[in-house]
Structure 1
Amino acid sequence: MDITVLIVNSLAVLVAVVGLIITSVQFKKTMEAQNRAISVSLFELRTEILASVESGKFAFNRTKAQFLFKRSISDKIEEYDTAIRECRRYKNLKDEFVSFIQSQRADETYEEATDFLEALQNYDAADPDSPDYQQLQEAIRRNSYTGKWMNGASPFEVESVDYVDVSEKEMAFSNKAEGLRKEIIEEMREFIETSIR
């Protein structure tokens, strides 16, 4: 009798384990179907954000994007925003530098300031592969100015600024932002595609 009870109990446990496995598999399939349905319902919102990134406008709510995409995409969007802010800051610093030079034309340094402004224009229009480019860069670098710059690292601290370094930093942040934009597009496309499979 003890062996019969043991066999019956063992069969009952085996049936319960098989039942649990079947229930677990069904639950997993149900959850996958629900996740797919949720992703399909979010498809339009996600593709709107993707279109905004593809156009280069980035005109979407960042918090909304955090909830619609995975963390790595949100982190790259944040990194992109930082790169764009820095690019704009350096562009504004460059404009501020040019304005400062233009203001010097009112003094007795009119000709010197005018020549320097012309050198800046030539530098902006110059081909980096040209043999004179390096010389032009060095001539412009020698004319750095120290002061408090509204668009500097800190508007309350004195710093030395030269046009070439500011231009190079602006370009570096612009290139970084563009590279991040391409990475974000690729990751968003992949995320959207895999979420609706």
Structure 2
Amino acid sequence: MIQSIETTPEKELSPEQQESLLGTLKVRFTKNMNRHPDVEWNTVQARLEANGEKLWSLYEMERTGGEPDVVGHDQKTGEYIFYDCSAESPKGRRSCCYDRQALESRKENKPANNAVDMAAAMGIKLLTEEQYGALQKLGQFDTKTSSWVETPAEIRKLGGALFGDYRYGHVFIYHNGAESYYAARGFRGSLRV
């Protein structure tokens, strides 16, 4: 079931929400050092505390089941890169078609939402094919589910959209009609802080 994305104009967390989220992120960061071996939590936390709107986006990623974690550090910009690292596609973002055009094209049995708009409302971006492949090098994700990935314009123009999963010991990127939606397909996002 898709959770609604409750936005506030200022996209700010209460002090209690911020403290709770930072605690959750720190525990996950510490348990999964293989995802970020050369990164120290204190520097990540300092950057998060200085970027309230990005912290709100991470809160939304967490609230919808994404289990965000640091997967990289951009040396040029200083930004830390977060991906949704839940074992399966985030529960609060499933049963959605690819984008608004796909949603509006459905005449019957419309899903509640679409991946592109949900990601934008959360302040995150869908993983690209390349990012999805990089995530899969950090573990096995989507062994029972699948996740929409950012689709190239030339494919989307023809009515298709891409999604990925992990089956039979391999990462697969498939295509589907952008208007399709399934209980086991959601989307994973990325955020640079």
Between structures 1 and 2, the one with greater strand share: 2
Q: Which has the higher contact order (CA 8 A, sep 6+)?
A: 1
TM interval, shorter chain, is: under 0.3
Between structures 1 and 2, the one with greater helix share: 1
* Structure 2 length-normalised TM: 0.22
Which one has a bigger Cα radius of gyration?
A: 1
